[in-house]
Structure 1
Amino acid sequence: MSRDETSPVFRSLDPQADLEITERNLPHWFQIGAAMFITFRTGDSLPKEVLLRWQRELEHWLKANELPLDLAVSTAVRKSKDHHALLETLSDAQRREFKKLSDRFFHRSLNECHGKCLLRRPELAELVGNALLFYNDEKYDLDRFVVMPNHVHAMVQFRAGATLEVVSQSWMRYSARQIRAVTGDSGVFWQPEPFDHIIRSPEKFEYLQRYIFDNPRKANLRQGEFLYWQRPM
């Protein structure tokens, strides 16, 4: 089927275009017109025992490579003021390997479904899906997303005038307010800071499309325990 002329064209990072870089606990790279992979999770999705297991796994790798063990705590548990200095002790290849190891543990742990996993309930997952779709084709263009029991993955490309605040304000804050109205809970629903990165190549774009599509199967979820949406072709 041919692409509709009005359908958005998703692009990877343009090294020549303006790039906005901000940082809290996590680095955030943002570029208008570049596709992004975004993950946000419920506040109870990685309990203390999981974070400590993450720390130990990173420590094992750092020890084997004779690198500072403090980097494990700073990555998995609580970011230290020396985090960047610790990263600088790694070579470029070591930094890539360390990040791959850390990301793999992070996503594997999310799929283990720790916490209450309230988004397994279809009516709550639908509230999140509606929040993501509310400004679709206006402030941003969604390629696809999946609402898992305790986290969300989305591929999105922002339009001129939009910022990453859409994720924390429109997606997370709005959906949390609606979910609390249904459940009666008053505590924090989402972990405050999402994980995001700009997609750097067409090959990575296709890989992440498959990742989002396959995520429910890899987490052994049945139909009705997740919400998947993708842009019509």
Structure 2
Amino acid sequence: MSPKFFNPWREIDRTHNHLPHWQQEGASYFVTWRLADSLPKERLDKHYHEREQWIRLHPEPWDEQIEAEYHRRFSTRMDAWLDEGHGGCLLRDPRHAKVVFDTLLHFDGTRAALISFVVMPNHVHVLFTLNPEWKLEEMIHTWKRHSAHEINRHRGDTGPLWMKDYFDRLIRDPAHLNNCVRYIRKNPTKARLRVGEYLLYESPVAQSIL
């Protein structure tokens, strides 16, 4: 499966939980999910309140400019908070990070074609093209469920591991794809992580992007 970009002329499937999610069949996505303890509740409550107020003033459908403003205001802020390393950062442990790494690779080439991903201490970024037979929420649920089960088994725990929701963006064009590859590649350096505190994967497609 080669990268497939957002087509404004095709049908868009819009779903909501805490966050808006846009899907197109067989498209490529940049997705982030995080550990349940990765951000303080007070900060999250304020973030979601501000986001809900902004969305009321900017009802969907959004054009490209409004969507870009949304991500500047909210996604970029969230990424910066995650890089501060809040919570227990269970994925800093190489054993736990390897569970996530192996879980993602297990479905590579069948349910999704992985382009690039990084397992950070308290969150995961994944860039991939989804098999048209799978919904985005199904794929992410499978990744999260399996990795949570294995990590909790290692820890002797049964509590929630991942935050329920996730952040996603449809990849719009080759330039957007290249920027996402570079973001994932540079994320450990930006967060000042040492070798052994993260796991990075790049497919040949990602490795060809400088």
1:16 aligns with 2:9: yes
Seen in structure 2, the aligned counterparts of structure 1 residues 219 and 84 have a Cα distance that, compared at 3 Å, is: closer
Which residue of the partner structure matches residue 41 of structure 2? Answer: 48
Which residue of the partner structure matches residue 56 of structure 2? Answer: 85
1:37 aligns with 2:30: yes
Structure 2: distance between partners of 1:168 and 1:35 = 13
Deviations 1:85-140 (A, max 9, x none): 3434xx97677435412222100000001000010011110101111111110111
Tell me by how many angstroms 1:206 deviates: 0.5
Asked if structure 1 preserves the Cα contact closer than 8 Å seen for 2:2 and 2:129, the reply is no
1:205 aligns with 2:177: yes
Structure 1 window deviating more from structure 2 (121-130 vs 29-38): it is 29-38
Structure 1 window deviating more from structure 2 (97-106 vs 217-226): it is 97-106
Which residue of the partner structure matches residue 208 of structure 2? Answer: none
TM-score when scaled to structure 2? 0.87
Which ranges of structure 2 fall in alignment gaps of 5 or more residues? 206-210
Q: Which amino acid aligns with 1:143?
A: I
Which residue of the partner structure matches residue 224 of structure 1? Answer: 196
Tell me by how many angstroms 1:15 deviates: 2.0
TM-score when scaled to structure 1? 0.79
Tell me by how many angstroms 1:148 deviates: 0.2
Structure 2: distance between partners of 1:99 and 1:165 = 20
Deviations 1:6-50 (A, max 9, x none): xx3212112233321111111111112321000000001111243
Tell me by how many angstroms 1:231 deviates: 1.1
Structure 1 window deviating more from structure 2 (92-101 vs 202-211): it is 92-101
Seen in structure 2, the aligned counterparts of structure 1 residues 34 and 222 have a Cα distance that, compared at 3 Å, is: same
Q: Which amino acid aligns with 2:8?
A: P
- Identity across matched positions, percent: 37
2:165 to 170, 174, 193: 193
Which ranges of structure 1 fall in alignment gaps of 5 or more residues? 1-7, 56-71
2:49 to 73, 76, 92: 73
> RMSD between aligned alpha carbons?
2.2
Q: Which amino acid aligns with 1:73?
A: H
Asked if structure 1 preserves the Cα contact closer than 8 Å seen for 2:111 and 2:139, the reply is no
Which residue of the partner structure matches residue 26 of structure 1? Answer: 19
Structure 2: distance between partners of 1:36 and 1:100 = 18
Asked if structure 2 preserves the Cα contact closer than 8 Å seen for 1:180 and 1:186, the reply is yes
Structure 2: distance between partners of 1:206 and 1:36 = 12
Q: Which amino acid aligns with 1:40?
A: W
Asked if structure 2 preserves the Cα contact closer than 8 Å seen for 1:13 and 1:200, the reply is yes
SS of 1:44's equivalent? coil
